[in-house]
Amino acid sequence: SAHAGILQAKSSQTREVLSLDGLWYFTMNASLVSTIEEATDVDLNLMPVPSSYNDISTKLSVRDHVGAVWYKRTFFVPSSWNDKKVWIRFGSVCYNASVTINDEVAVTHSIGHLPFAAEISSLLKFGRENSIIVEVNNILTSTTIPQGNVETLISGREKQFFNFDFFNYAGIDRPVLLYSTNDAYVDDIDIKTDQSGKDGLVSYELALVGLDPSTSLEVNILDKRGDVVALSNEAADTLIVEDAQLWWPYLMDPNPGYLYTLEVLIKRGEELVDHYKQPFGIRHLEYTSDQFTINGRNIYIRGFSRHEDSDIRGKGLDLPLIIRDHSLIKWIGANCYRTSHYPYADEIMDLADQLGIMIIDEVPAVDTDDFNDELMENHKQSLTELHRRDKNRPAVVIWSISNEPVTQKNESEAYFRQIAAHIKSLDTSRPITIANAAQFDVEHSGQFLDILGVNRYEGWYQNVGQLDGIYQRIIEYATAWHDLHNKPVLITEYGADAEEGLSYLPTYIWSEEFQNDVMSEYFKAFDELRKESWFIGELIWNFADFRTDQDIRRVGGNKKGIFTRSRQPKQSAFLMRKRYWQLAYELD
């Protein structure tokens, strides 16, 4: 059975977790799946999990593979789990997954970058070895999220085409965990917070399974030290946390990203049956036609649009990399990033919550085009799953419902009316946006949004090399968006490619100087614009260089990063650091 909730797999007094991460057998050939262990070509037959598979091997056929691949391994299930419910949770598989355990289908899932889980107890052999095969398919069509199309080339090879500007990595790219619960357990937790004077209001609702008259419930709110600050015995309640420590995204705050914990205990008599701890933050968001506030204070967003991307592992979760990234984000003085162009790993989102970094949480809908009903259902499903995963996260302050959809098309109007209504039916506490490159006066989505996200490449895609036009054009363009809809405007992308070490005097495109010069002109425009409260922030494209499809506009990938792909600063990172820290001193 599929999970209704998608809580993280965490060990506790009642839950145990076993990781299936490590080396799995791997093949692109269906007929080899049953004998894959016997093959000797290590390069072809072993694959690390988590990782994208594309850049691990030396083979072009692996990198550019289109269609199914198979991952396989064995795992031991302890006999002590015999009377437990056992679950499997995948952080993400790109894009389609079909999971077989001991020759029976355990769960299937489509849409990458989002977790899925299933109870597998009845399929397991306890105290013995078990086998798991995951079939992963990376094909994108006009109805998948994101979209693409497969064509057969002159050689007979199939090639995946798509419009988005990042490498189409695939595989089991986030952790795979087994965990156990008892028969009665917490299936989901929904927490909403508000602020009343110095107090915090915490409303929660639990989805509980297996409770009966013999069970009892205890809910505690713990502060950071672990002390109980409020409690209840109800499955849904509103609790007051006196003198609450609010969740702030301010660098100058002595305690940015303060997290409380909602602890749930299910008991049968004195016996503890379930124990789960859900972190959350107490904060209040408000958005009006000309303001965006957190805990009653105006927010000015300064940060990045990013990618999950690095050498060799592609989009695979890598703990050294994500700690390095967040060290750089703190070093540079940013307070926000957008998870362009898909939801990022749970582990990354946890860091943002803990560090007090705001997140603009984007669904995997990028370059949305060819608006059709099946696509809309999948798009809605991606929002449902994103909200289900991230609803309790204080870091998530805006939902981004698409990147650069083709909203100049008339059909996009009915489409985004429904997409916007869908996310609003799930959550009205957070504003919604689209990172939009369509011209403001011919596009149809602005009317449905709370915040207008604007992608604009003055000096690069528009009027290349014209540094002297940037200031005026950006002020005019942002103001025009605002005036048309009377809504807050956020620059969700701007920037210029710079090849690290390339230097020209006088300035010339692709050099580090030119990237700096473009940024300096934008900064002047932003400083003028932020005199208006409706101008709420700036996100540069991109945090770091990243791999793309092969393209004559790209040298080894997109070089608009202010850090290199190996996470070292370009000259632009120092320039940005000066600005973001100045803004921090002025505003935080």
Between CA 296 and CA 195 the distance in angstroms is 9
CA–CA dist 168, 164 (Å, integer): 9
Which of 51, 403 has the CB closer to ligand GCB? 403
For residue 255, the minimal CB distance to ligand GCB (Å) is: 35
Handedness of CA 184, 190, 192, 198 (dihedral sign): positive
- The smaller minimum CB distance to ligand GCB, of residues 334 and 365, is found at 365
* DSSP per-residue letters across 484-546: HH---EEEEE----B-TT---SS--TBSHHHHHHHHHHHHHHHHHHTTSTTEEEEEEE-SB-B
End-to-end CA gap in the chain? 47
Question: How far apart (Å, rounded) are the C-alpha atoms in residues 372 and 378?
Answer: 10
Backbone angles phi, psi at 398, to 5 degrees: -145, 140
What x-and-dash track marks residues 459-498 binding ligand GCB by CB under 6 A?
A: ----------------------------------x-----
Q: Among residues 382, 455, 511, 572, which is the contact residue for ligand GCB, using CB under 6 A?
A: 455
Cβ distance to ligand GCB smaller for residue 250 or 304: 304
Q: Decide: is 167 part of the binding site for ligand GCB (CB under 6 A).
A: no
- 246, 224, 490, 247: which is closest to 352 by C-alpha? 247
Least distance in angstroms from the C-beta of 479 to ligand GCB: 20
445 interacts with ligand GCB by CB under 6 A? no
Shortest spacing between CB 341 and ligand GCB, in angstroms: 6
Query: Is 437 an interacting residue with respect to ligand GCB (CB under 6 A)?
Result: yes
- Work out how close the CB of 307 gets to ligand GCB at its nearest, in angstroms, rounded to a whole number: 8
Q: Which 3 state secondary structure label does DSSP give 139?
A: coil
Cβ distance to ligand GCB smaller for residue 366 or 583: 366
Distance CA 201, CA 386 (A): 24
User: Measured from the CB of residue 482, what is the shortest distance to ligand GCB in angstroms?
Assistant: 20
Give the nearer residue to ligand GCB in terms of CB position, either 48 or 146: 146
15/560 with CB nearer ligand GCB: 560
Q: Which is nearer to ligand GCB, 109 or 307 (CB)?
A: 307
Is the dihedral angle over the CA atoms 88, 94, 99, 105 positive or is it negative? positive
- Compute the distance between CA of residue 97 and CA of residue 89 in angstroms, rounded to an integer: 12
Residue located via tokens 């592609």: 314
Strand pairing class (285-288; 291-294): antiparallel
The residue behind tokens 């405007």 is 489
Q: Whats the size of the chain, residue-wise?
A: 588
Q: Which residue minimizes CB distance to ligand GCB? A: 165
CA separation (Å) from 199 to 27, 277, 445, 470?
Answer: 56, 22, 38, 46
Regarding 403 and contact with ligand GCB (CB under 6 A), the answer is: yes
Shortest distance in whole angstroms from residue 163 CB to ligand GCB:
9
Minimum Å gap between C-beta 388 and ligand GCB is: 26
Residue 404, interface with ligand GCB (CB under 6 A)?
yes
Q: Would you state the structure tokens that stand for residue 529, as one six-digit string? A: 């614009």
- Whole-angstrom distance, CA of residue 235 vs CA of residue 216: 10
Cβ proximity to ligand GCB, 382 vs 455, nearer residue: 455
Tell me the backbone φ, ψ of residue 378, rounded to 5 degrees. Answer: -70, -40
> Which residues are marked as active site?
404
CA distance 145 to 141: 8
The mark string for 544-573 relative to ligand GCB (x by CB under 6 A, - otherwise) is --------------x-x-------------
Residues that contact ligand GCB, how many (by CB under 6 A): 9
CB of 431 to ligand GCB, least distance (A): 20
For residue 197, what are the contacts with CB-CB under 8 A and spacing of at least 6?
none
Find the DSSP H helices in 391-432: 411-426
Q: Which is nearer to ligand GCB, 109 or 560 (CB)?
A: 560
Q: How far apart are the C-alpha atoms of 176 and 18, rounded to whole Å?
A: 9
Is the CB of 355 or the CB of 406 nearer to ligand GCB?
406
Q: Convert 422-488 into a string of H (helix), E (strand) and C (coil).
A: HHHHHCCCCCEEEEECCCCCCCCCHHHCCEEEEECCECCCECCCCHHHHHHHHHHHHHHHHHHHCCC
Give the tokens for residue 457. 């490449």
Q: Using the minimum distance from each CB to ligand GCB, give the nearer residue, 71 or 546.
A: 546
Map residues 407-436 to x or -, x wherever contact with ligand GCB holds by CB under 6 A.
------------------------------
Hey, which bits of 93-141 come out as E strands? 96-101, 104-109, 116-119, 128-137
Shortest Å distance, C-beta 403 to ligand GCB: 5
Q: Looking at 260, 280, 481, 541, which residue binds ligand GCB (CB under 6 A)?
A: 541
Applying CB under 6 A, which of residues 165, 361, 517, 538 lies at the interface with ligand GCB?
165
Long-range contacts of 34-43 (CB under 8 A, 24+ apart): 36/70, 36/72, 37/72
CB of 525 to ligand GCB, least distance (A): 18
CB of 560 to ligand GCB, least distance (A): 5
Q: Please give the residue ranges that form the binding site for ligand GCB (CB under 6 A).
A: 165, 403-404, 437, 455, 493, 541, 558, 560
